[in-house]
Amino acid sequence: MNYTLHQLQIFLKITQLKSITKASEALFLSQPAVSIQLKKFQDQFSIPLTEVVGRQLYVTDFGQEIAEAAEKILNEVNAINYKTLSFKGQVAGRLKISVVSTGKYVMPYFLSDFTNKNSGVDLIMDVTNKQSVVKSLENNEVDFSLVSVIPEQMNLERVELMANKLYLVGGTKDKFDRKVSKKKIFETYPMLYREDGSATRSAMESFIASHNISTPKKMELTSNEALKQAVIAGLGYSIMPLIGIKNELKNGDLKIIPFKGLPITTTWNLVWQKSKKLSPTALAYLDFINSEKERIIEENFDWYNQY
């Protein structure tokens, strides 16, 4: 056996993505380069690691076992590198964070200075839906999660970052009948919702129910970006987080419609399990957040108070 760490890395990425093309994109390599390294790696084993059925690549049972071993080896190599940097007095290690989809407009600002200052930190940020974020916390797969609604069933620690404000929003090119009362907007025009399980949808549904508003026309979209474009195009109205529509408001593509009881205000929270033993890297990040969050908010979200 004479395989390299580079080959292990490539093979592991192929098994994770089930695609040579996607692996090459993730590793910033050409597809031929990845294919060549996979062949060289396969040539060292008499048992197939992968197989192609139709156009789909499948990992064999043997290949899956090799992939698991490769992941362990690569993790150990990374640990050696982190320890070397730590002995030099640098913060080094992996920082894994899961973020609800709208949180992508928030979390990067609370990470950039920390990662720029600590080059030995490898950041893994998964932007996904609320259910997946909660699952990653339950399975102890991440150091921290960013949520606007705290999962009640879990025993969590938290740091409050900033307010999350949700407004009734419409496109500026719509043909809204000015004679229709604002409350009738919900009954007259389609209301656009996020998918089930979304914190934004839950907040919207709670608001509508608490105000006894009827919404006979409904549409559902599975991402904040899709929802935003649908509102801009005039498909309907929605209650949306302010944090995600800054540019659209500035450019005049969207407008906030004043409505009694709005905005809905929640809080963006960085959370982690109370029972979790945080790594030195995670503890260093927590110290950074506690000492720098006010500065970060002031420097990056001063526009927020205009609404």
Helices 31-42 and 5-17, packing angle to 10 deg? 110
Residues 210 and 256 in one domain: yes
- What lies within 8 Å, CB to CB, of 58 at 6+ separation is 18, 50, 51, 52
Per-residue model confidence (pLDDT) at position 294: 96
**pLDDT beneath 50, residues of the chain:** none
Task: Let me know whether 179 and 251 are in one domain.
Answer: yes
SS3 125: strand
Residue where a domain terminates, one of 50, 84, 118 = 84
For 80, the enclosing helix (H) or strand (E) is: helix 61-87
Predicted TM-score of the model (pTM): 0.71
Quote the number of domains for the chain. 3
Decide which of 25, 50, 84 is a domain's last residue: 84
Predicted confidence at residue 179, as pLDDT, reads 56
pLDDT for res 251: 92
- pLDDT on residue 278: 87
Which two structure tokens, joined as six digits, stand for 108? 């990067």
Same-domain status, 278 and 226: no
Q: Indicate whether 246 and 279 sit together in one domain.
A: no
How is residue 24 written in tokens?
A: 């090459």
Helix (H) or strand (E) holding 177: none
- Where is the domain boundary, 33, 54, 84? 84
Closest residue by Cα to residue 243 from 133, 114, 101: 101
Q: How many residues does the chain have?
A: 307
Sequence-distant (≥ 6) Cβ neighbours of residue 81 within 8 angstroms = 92, 120
Give the H or E element holding residue 45. Answer: none
Domain of 19, in residue numbers: 5-84
For residues 171 and 247, state if they share a domain. Answer: yes
Burial (CB < 10 A; 0-12, 13-18, 19+), residue 139, is exposed
Burial of 163: CB neighbours in 10 Å, binned 0-12, 13-18, 19+: middle
Do 189 and 245 reside in the same domain of the chain?
A: yes
**CB-based contacts of 184, cutoff 8 Å, min separation 6:** none
| In a shared domain, residues 76 and 100 | no
pLDDT of residue 306: 86
> Rounded distance, CA 51 to CA 64, Å?
12
CATH of the domain at 301: 3.40.190.10
The whole-number pLDDT of residue 181 equals: 63
- What pLDDT, on the 0 to 100 scale, is given for residue 189? 85
- Could you tell me if 179 and 247 lie in one domain? yes
